Structure 1
Amino acid sequence: MSATQGPGKTIVLHIGLHKTGTSSIQATLKHNQALLRERGMLYPGFLPANHSQFFINAFSSRAEHYHANRRQGLDAAAIAERAAEQMDRLGRALTQFRGSTILLSAEDASTLQAPEVAQTRSRLDALAESVGVQTNYRVLLYTRNPAAFVSSAMQENVKGNGMRLDDSRELHIRNASGRYRRIHDAWAAAFGSDAVSFRCFETACGEPGGLIGDFLRTLGIPPEGIEHRLTNEGISDEVTEFLSSLYLPESGAGHGRLQDCKMRIELTPEDREALFALRGSKGGLLSLADQIRTWDVVADDMHFLQAQFAITYDRPDAGRITPGEKFATGFLQDLAQALPRLSVPAREALLHYLLTRPVEPLQHENTEDTPE
């Protein structure tokens, strides 16, 4: 029996985008697995909360280069074995689960190239046919204001990927061109344009129940009683700039590549906990000039979103941009309490940074806080 449109199981593929609250969605789905099952949706328990590694291992031709596989020391044979075992368990879930919907969530799925997306469809179809289950598909992605996306991605690169701000800024501005059109076209070609839906992250955050409520309602799942789990909260711009100043330029080869740079000092876990907890400004890592440069790069993509999904973002306007309130009262109060908790090297480095940092603040558009 082939996997075609018609009655049967629906496989929902939530493919991101990065920096649109995916970690919080995934943690919430994992935490509420039992309740979701009662409401007709399976979030596979044999996978971790984030299904990105499964997606890459099962469907990508570049799995050996994936950061999680490198970190775990997995070679091609180990990757193939793990992917085969998890695909087999997914097949059993298709036959054993009595509900109508199986959900997979992987923001790194949005990085798959068109041939890999086609391979995703082919392998899912083959799996469904092998267990005699008809499948329909839904592909869901959330979009985000391009300037806010770049700023948030820069913060995450510095916080978690050992990357300097300058390199991260250039990487994300350069890669912003045509992103949404490329993703849409690859997934629409494989799964059909009717199956692919893009939704606005900012609008979703303003809906009842926020982003997670919007996500569940979009999939026909009542959000009542679902306990939210918010994770991967962003750190302040002040701390992000400080961390970036610690990376040694010669250690990371630059050129906008995602790779760990060495630090001038070694931060302890306690140092990071204290620094990450400091209140401060957020979303101000791009100057007005860089926001406009970003917009120039993504202009065609923004026209595509508006025409295809009625998603509209406003171009940065100098009249609506105000200086970022870095090092405001809340940050300084937290800093005074945190300094005694920092190790001596971290405290000395932070004080040196505060005394030597440029005094001209960056600028950003005033927006309300939203989940990272």
Structure 2
Amino acid sequence: MVLHIGTHKTATTMIQQKFWTNSPLLSERGVIYPRLDNNHGHHGLTAPWSPVEAVDPGFLLAGGAVEAFGALARRYAGEDVTVFLSSEEFSRSGPNNGVDYGELRGYLSDFDEVQVVCVLRPQWQFMQSVYVELSKVMAPPEPARFIITSQKKGVFAGLWGDYNLLLDRLEGAFGAENVTFLDYETCTEGVGGVVGAMLDVLGLDPTDDGLRDMCLGASNVSAPALACWVANQLTAPDVASDWLVDHAQRALKAEFGEPLSTCVFSRDEMYSLQKWCQPLNDKLQRRRQAVQPGFQMAPLAPTGVNLFREDVSAAFWLRMARIGFGLLMGRPEAEQGLSRPTFNTVQ
């Protein structure tokens, strides 16, 4: 049994879609990706601990999670196969103190071996991606709140900011030797990307001609982070629409040029986050290297970012106002706001 627990925003949707679609092909190679229902991920299995019904009532399994665990054991525990389960909901830290991994391990006790795999991103990337994801359904907290909450409690938005706390729980239930942490950036740069990394964990070859198509494409790609923040400032407490995020991104490019790599945090916030996270990530790296030689976390420094939140200028907001006024007036030429404004000088 291999249990893939996320984390969120580490290509989990793509992994689940690819494995669900290709489950017959995988079963020929000894890997079972159960199709419990029409959901690509196994989110319904987390229902005893995670608020999946609040995320999407359609995630709930008809017979309940406990019965589903029992059915999987009865069907596959005695077979010479590897069952692969995947849901990022298994990595939640809350509400209600998150997943009880000891209880989860008990549900899987009929399997002779249970391995846990978890993919991690540098915390600023993780927090930024979660901010964007929350923006789809609500007016999210200001980005700085994620940092402040993490520094106080080690968690933010019901997710782990200190990955050592997650590792403590996993090792306590499954044993250090049965936990594998993977660095997201290392996975994306490897053969087959993150899907290829999962295939490798399962003992499959991502260069296998029959599996190559699994490693292509992307799913649930995040919207540009700073454009989401701009749109949220204009619509809060309501949810910003996709078209407004799109206009904001185009306006950012028009104002600041391309290529554009943005960050919702300020430079001071990034410094605070790095000061807090770096010792924790160094500790995590040492802990993992004892059982995973060569494991390394990606650097915390925001390499390549060329536009931080405090760089959003008054000139940019003027551009957005021109676009917004044009759209409000129903002018099809409203997108002239995406060109640099000119001013007449009175002589």
Q: Scaled by the length of structure 1, what TM-score is found?
A: 0.67
Residues 204 and 95 of structure 1, relative CA distance in 2, 3 Å threshold: closer
Contact 1:152 1:283 in 2 (8 A): no
User: Residue type of the partner of 2:231?
Assistant: L
Contact 2:31 2:81 in 1 (8 A): yes
Contact 1:162 1:262 in 2 (8 A): yes
Q: Alignment partner for residue 141 of structure 1, among 118, 133, 140?
A: 118
Determine the structure 2 residue equivalent to 1:179.
162
Matching of residue 52 in structure 1 with residue 9 in structure 2? no
Write the distance in 1 (CA, Å) between the matches of 2:25 and 2:58: 36
Unaligned runs of 5+ in 2: 155-160, 254-259, 289-294, 340-347
Residues 344 and 313 of structure 1, relative CA distance in 2, 3 Å threshold: same
The C-alpha deviation readout for 1:111-147, integer Å capped at 9, x for no partner, is 254771111112222xx2xxxxx42010101111222
Unaligned runs of 5+ in 1: 1-10, 129-133, 249-260, 356-372
Superposition pairs for residues 1-372 of structure 1, below 5 Å? 11-47=1-37, 48-55=39-46, 57-58=47-48, 60=49, 63=50, 66=51, 68-69=53-54, 72=57, 81-94=63-76, 98-112=79-93, 113=97, 116-125=100-109, 128=110, 134-158=111-135, 160-164=136-140, 166=142, 168-172=143-147, 174-175=149-150, 177=154, 179-223=162-206, 224=208, 225-226=210-211, 227=213, 228-248=216-236, 261-263=237-239, 267=241, 271=243, 281-309=260-288, 310-316=295-301, 323-324=306-307
User: Residue type of the partner of 1:28?
Assistant: K
Residues 147 and 274 of structure 1, relative CA distance in 2, 3 Å threshold: closer
Residues 343 and 212 of structure 1, relative CA distance in 2, 3 Å threshold: farther
Write the distance in 1 (CA, Å) between the matches of 2:233 and 2:245: 18
Count of matched residue pairs = 298
DSSP 3-state at the match of 1:199? strand
DSSP 3-state at the match of 1:163? coil
DSSP 3-state at the match of 2:108? helix
Q: Scaled by the length of structure 2, what TM-score is found?
A: 0.71
Write the distance in 1 (CA, Å) between the matches of 2:266 and 2:331: 28
DSSP 3-state at the match of 2:299? coil
Write the distance in 1 (CA, Å) between the matches of 2:231 and 2:99: 38
Residues 198 and 283 of structure 1, relative CA distance in 2, 3 Å threshold: farther
Residue 217 (structure 1) shift = 1.0
Residues 32 and 99 of structure 1, relative CA distance in 2, 3 Å threshold: farther
User: Residue type of the partner of 1:200?
Assistant: D
CA RMSD after TM alignment: 4.0
Contact 2:92 2:99 in 1 (8 A): no
Residues 88 and 311 of structure 1, relative CA distance in 2, 3 Å threshold: same
DSSP 3-state at the match of 2:113? strand
Higher relative contact order (CA 8 A, sep 6+): 1
DSSP 3-state at the match of 2:83? strand
User: Residue type of the partner of 1:119?
Assistant: E
User: Residue type of the partner of 2:72?
Assistant: L
Contact 2:90 2:99 in 1 (8 A): no
Write the distance in 1 (CA, Å) between the matches of 2:331 and 2:149: 35
Determine the structure 2 residue equivalent to 1:367.
none
Residue 88 (structure 1) shift = 3.8
